[in-house]
A = this chain, B = another copy of it.
Amino acid sequence: MTNFATLPQPPYFAVIFSSFRTPGADNDGHGASDGYGDMADRMVELAAQQDGYLGIESARGADGFGITVSYWRDEAAIVKWKANAEHLVAQQYGQERWYEHFELRIAKVERAYGKP
């Protein structure tokens, strides 16, 4: 099971990205004709190579609404990732084509627990 990010003890930072895919798009993110699936995979791969990256978790329902949370060591790492050249292209496509609506929230994780 690789859905869960393995994270250090808090504090660290989270980028909570909620999005609604444009109608008619392939909502599982794979094989979409608009290039979304390949780009999404590439962004996950690229993010993981960034300094300060800690992990990522993602879920999208059949209705097209999804939440992706990426985790980072500090805010500087988030700012740097946002300015990454290849990521900037993806952000522009996201704005123009892939997302009807999105909300992005940057938060400092202060406490964490889980099972098991």
Q: Across the interface, do B114 and A14 meet the contact criterion of CB distance under 8 Å? A: no
We find that the number of chain A residues with CB closer than 8 angstroms to chain B is 39
How many copies of this protein are present in the complex?
A: 2
User: Using a CB-CB cutoff of 8 Å, which residues 82-114 of chain A contact chain B?
Assistant: 95, 99, 101-114
**A24 CB-CB contact with B under 8 Å:** no
Bitwise, A60-83 to B at CB < 8 A (1) or not (0) is 111101110100000000000000
A105 CA / B4 CA spacing, docked (Å): 12
Residues of B contacting A102 with CB < 8 Å?
A: 114-115
Q: Which of B65, B69, B106 contacts A3 (CB 8 A)?
A: B65
**A26 CB-CB contact with B under 8 Å:** no
Q: Which of B59, B63, B107, B110 contacts A66 (CB 8 A)?
A: B59
Residues of B contacting A110 with CB < 8 Å?
A: 106-108
Residue of B nearest to A64 (CB): B3
Q: How far is the CB of A54 from chain B (nearest CB, A)?
A: 11
6 shortest interchain CB distances as A-B pairs: A107-B107, A103-B114, A3-B65, A67-B67, A107-B109, A59-B59
